[in-house]
């Protein structure tokens, strides 16, 4: 039941002129993997990754009312090679606040020097004079939000924004209290937290952000490196003539309109499937079945 009605539509980032398509491209899986080190170094198959990026580039260059966006947590120079020259309507979102140890660990990088270096590294690697959106990742806990003040690092990003190096600021892996703290320091245009069909901790937060016009961007919208597994999801997909991952993305797009999805893949076939998810119409009674997955997770 993949029809011709585009359910993705668009969302305008609060306080900006950036009106985005609600389906973007998550670039995390373009990075490589070394043993148990995820998002590490160049892709295993560089040619396949570049073909996937090139497909994105062609899609972005097709006539489209709204800006496309690329979520680039890796800030690898390969993004510039694969995607440049950048289309005028491409918005690139990067992330700072953590660095990688030699053992693949994630290490907090919240100091003024860390953040300033990260911004300049992003500008150099991406070949840009200004970054469209930069997310500050809270590192009080690696996998889930945990309380702790982000005032000091957010103030550094605000200063870099005032210097013209950053257009807009977002947050990642944060609690509602940290979002409130941040909004007293600088305007926040988006929040990126762990959320998907089975992981529903942020239901209330999403509704609150929607009322304030702030975008919510789930990371791991398809379960991350361990894809979502659910008999209900598989059954619904079979009934709708779609893949389980298409259903999971379409479910997100039929929730509050401030949700932007950034499925990541290094496969052209999966990329095309992900883009088709915006055309999948899920009937209300089926939505109820899918909603129950989160309640049992």
Tell me the CATH number at 154. Answer: 3.20.20.100
Per-residue pLDDT, 180: 98
Query: Does residue 86 belong to any structural domain of this protein?
Result: yes
Q: Tell me what the pLDDT averaged over the chain comes to.
A: 82
- pTM of the entire structure? 0.87
Per-residue pLDDT, 295: 65
Query: Does residue 4 belong to any structural domain of this protein?
Result: no
How many CB atoms neighbour CB 157 within 10 A?
27
pLDDT along the chain (297 residues), means of 10: 56 88 75 47 55 54 54 55 74 88 82 96 90 93 90 98 97 97 97 93 96 93 76 93 93 93 75 82 92 73
Query: Does residue 25 belong to any structural domain of this protein?
Result: yes
Indicate the number of domains in the chain: 1
Per-residue pLDDT, 30: 59
Per-residue pLDDT, 283: 92
Task: Print the domain residue range for 21.
Answer: 10-228+252-267
Query: Does residue 240 belong to any structural domain of this protein?
Result: no
Query: Does residue 103 belong to any structural domain of this protein?
Result: yes
């Amino acid at each position: 039941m993949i029809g011709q009605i585009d359910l993705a539509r668009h969302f305008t980032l609060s306080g900006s002129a950036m009106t985005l398509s609600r389906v973007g491209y998550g670039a995390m899986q373009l990075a490589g993997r070394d043993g148990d080190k995820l998002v590490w170094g160049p892709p295993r198959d560089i040619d396949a990754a570049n073909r996937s990026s090139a497909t994105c580039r062609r899609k972005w260059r097709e006539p489209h009312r709204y800006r496309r966006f690329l979520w680039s947590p890796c800030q690898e120079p390969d993004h510039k090679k694969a995607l440049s020259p950048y289309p005028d309507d491409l918005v690139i979102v990067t992330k700072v606040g953590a660095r990688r140890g030699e053992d693949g660990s994630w290490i907090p990088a919240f100091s003024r020097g860390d953040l300033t270096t990260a911004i300049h590294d992003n500008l150099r690697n991406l070949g840009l004079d200004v970054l469209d959106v930069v997310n500050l990742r809270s590192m009080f806990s690696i996998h889930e939000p945990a309380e702790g003040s982000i005032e000091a690092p957010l103030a550094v990003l605000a200063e870099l924004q005032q210097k013209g190096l950053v257009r807009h600021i977002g947050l990642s892996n944060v609690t509602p209290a940290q979002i409130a703290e941040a909004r007293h320091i600088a305007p926040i245009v988006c929040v990126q937290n762990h959320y998907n069909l089975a992981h529903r901790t942020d239901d209330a937060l999403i509704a609150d952000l929607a009322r304030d016009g702030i975008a919510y961007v789930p990371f791991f919208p398809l379960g991350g490196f361990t894809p979502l597994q659910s008999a209900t999801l598989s059954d619904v997909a079979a009934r709708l003539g779609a893949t389980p991952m298409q259903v999971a993305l379409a479910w997100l797009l039929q929730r509050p309109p401030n949700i932007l999805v950034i499925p990541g893949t290094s496969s052209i076939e999966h990329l095309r499937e992900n883009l088709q998810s915006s055309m999948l119409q899920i009937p209300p009674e089926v939505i109820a079945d899918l909603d129950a997955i989160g309640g049992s997770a």
